[in-house]
């Protein structure tokens, strides 16, 4: 009963209800919203949450002075995709390393979509960047793609065995898969699989904008024995059942002894300035050490004792490196 009532209220807010029961004050508020169109409501929320930085007309001239200017939506300044869907994702998760905050904890998906429609209406003549046949678009659950990873930047290595995880929040994570480690974090569109016609012979095309380049894109391994011997991370499985794609691997020394099983995933932190955190769930059979990389901070001891424990590595973003 309660649910039905809530649902009908929800529908009223969305589409307007003429036969709504005579309103006490609380419902009057909804009724007035209901008479407005979707974009007007989106506009109200835009004025409230976005205009101070992006400007009331979407020209990027807000009242707040920023160390990095906000985008002008009129000129189509969308580097993370210009569809309502893409704008919603950016609004929800923010842009790490910039003043653009995440709104996921403040607004619900419905509200964000309405604001995104309003944002989209600032650039009415801009053509939507629609996905080509080879582009993979991440939907409700994460996607994992294996393949050749092109050098993250000029002068870096190509990784013939690579792995890319795309999460529904619009972030994607590039991994080396031969000795598992995170190389780079991107935000925006996911991947174009141009190697399909080519029997896997050419590298994947990564479409997102780099947010974090882990140790310049060629990170050391974080894992060593207590004697300082390198531990290789051998990929065991990937999982896409939760909202964040997960990789699982075991740590082996040169003689093939297993030191630990680790599951890891990454997610942007919420907060005024979003950063990205890499979460490790560790089951150690032997003690080993984990050394944080340049540009990162690790929560927890570097010495990992036998048993079950967790570590979190926080990545400083490109903007602040
Ligand atoms: C505190 C200031 C601030 C507020 C508030 C803010 N933004 Fe932003 N926003 C920025 C900045 C700065 C950028 C540019 C970041 C960069 O350099 O890439 C940005 C970029 C964007 C982008 C461009 C993404 C792309 O594809 O390049 C979108 C879309 C966006 N904001 C939407 C919103 C919406 C919607 C709201 C309100 C719900 C909002 N912003 C509120 C500062 C802000």
Residue closest via CA to ligand 1's atom 35 equals: 91
Q: Does residue 239 belong to any structural domain of this protein?
A: yes
Residue closest via CA to ligand 1's atom 6 equals: 50
> What is the count of structural domains for the chain?
2
**Whether residue 183 is found in the same domain as residue 79:** no
Last residue of a domain, one of 61, 94, 121: 121
Q: Quickly count: other Cβ atoms within 10 Å of residue 315's Cβ.
A: 26
Q: Does residue 235 belong to any structural domain of this protein?
A: yes
Structural domain boundaries, residue 100: 36-121
Tell me, in angstroms, the distance from the centre of ligand 1 to residue 265's CA.
26
Q: Does residue 308 belong to any structural domain of this protein?
A: yes
Q: Does residue 4 belong to any structural domain of this protein?
A: no
Mutate-to-test residue for ligand 1 from 45, 65, 70, highest number of ligand atoms within 8 A of CB: 70
pLDDT of 130 higher than 50: yes
pTM of the model: 0.71
Residue closest via CA to ligand 1's atom 13 equals: 70
**Whether residue 169 is found in the same domain as residue 209:** yes
**Whether residue 255 is found in the same domain as residue 156:** yes
- Cα distances (Å, whole numbers) of residue 130 to 47, 133, 268: 28, 10, 26
3-state SS assignment for residue 34: helix
* Residue 102 contacts residue 269 (beta carbons within 8 Å): no
Who lines ligand 1 at CB under 6 A? 49-50, 52-54, 64, 66, 68, 70-71, 77-80, 87, 90-91, 95, 98-101, 103, 115, 119
Instruction: Say how far apart CA 63 and CA 280 lie, in whole Å.
Output: 41
pLDDT of 50 higher than 70: yes
Last residue of a domain, one of 121, 144, 170: 121
Going by C-alpha positions, the residue among 263, 100, 248, 265 that lies closest to residue 168 is 265
Q: Does residue 21 belong to any structural domain of this protein?
A: no
Query: Looking at residue 55, what DSSP letter applies?
Result: -
Last residue of a domain, one of 94, 121, 148: 121
Q: Quote the Cα angle for 65-69-73, to 5°.
A: 120
134-187 pLDDT, tens digit each: 788 888 899 999 888 888 877 888 888 899 999 998 999 999 999 999 999 999
Q: What is the CATH number of the domain that holds 66?
A: 1.10.760.10
Mean pLDDT for all residues in the chain = 81
171-227 pLDDT, tens digit each: 999 999 999 999 999 998 899 876 554 455 678 889 998 988 898 888 999 999 999
**Whether residue 143 is found in the same domain as residue 115:** no
**Whether residue 95 is found in the same domain as residue 154:** no
Counting atoms of ligand 1 from 1, which one is nearest the CA of 69?
Answer: 12
**Whether residue 63 is found in the same domain as residue 191:** no
Q: Does residue 315 belong to any structural domain of this protein?
A: yes
Residue closest via CA to ligand 1's atom 32 equals: 91
* Residue 241 contacts residue 272 (beta carbons within 8 Å): no
């Amino acid at each position: 009963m309660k649910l039905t009532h809530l649902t009908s209220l929800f529908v009223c807010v969305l589409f307007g209800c003429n036969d709504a029961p005579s309103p006490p004050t609380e419902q009057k508020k909804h009724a007035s919203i209901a008479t407005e169109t979707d974009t007007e409501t989106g506009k109200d929320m835009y004025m409230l949450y976005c205009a101070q930085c992006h400007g009331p007309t979407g020209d990027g001239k807000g009242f707040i002075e920023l160390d990095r200017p906000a985008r002008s939506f009129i000129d189509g300044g969308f580097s993370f995709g210009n569809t309502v869907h893409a704008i919603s994702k950016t609004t929800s998760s923010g842009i790490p390393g910039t003043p653009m905050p995440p709104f996921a904890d403040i607004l619900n998906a419905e509200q964000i979509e309405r604001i995104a429609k309003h944002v989209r209406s600032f650039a009415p003549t801009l053509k939507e960047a629609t996905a080509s046949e080879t582009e993979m678009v991440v939907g409700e659950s994460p996607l994992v793609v294996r393949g050749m990873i092109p050098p993250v930047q000029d002068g870096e290595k190509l990784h013939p065995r690579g792995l890319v995880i795309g999460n529904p929040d619009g972030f994607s994570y590039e991994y080396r898969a031969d000795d598992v480690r995170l190389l780079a974090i991107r935000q925006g569109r996911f991947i174009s699989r141009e190697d399909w016609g080519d029997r896997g012979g050419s590298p994947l095309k990564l479409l997102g904008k780099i947010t974090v380049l882990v140790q310049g894109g060629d990170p050391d391994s974080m894992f060593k024995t207590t004697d300082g011997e390198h531990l290789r991370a051998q990929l065991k499985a990937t999982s896409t059942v939760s909202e964040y794609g997960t990789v699982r691997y075991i740590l082996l020394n040169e003689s093939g002894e297993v030191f630990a099983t680790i599951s890891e995933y990454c997610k942007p932190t919420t907060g005024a300035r979003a950063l990205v955190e890499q979460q490790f769930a560790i089951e150690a059979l032997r003690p080993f050490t984990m050394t944080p990389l340049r540009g990162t901070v690790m929560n927890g001891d570097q010495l990992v004792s036998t048993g079950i424990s967790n570590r979190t590595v926080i990545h400083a973003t490109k903007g602040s490196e």
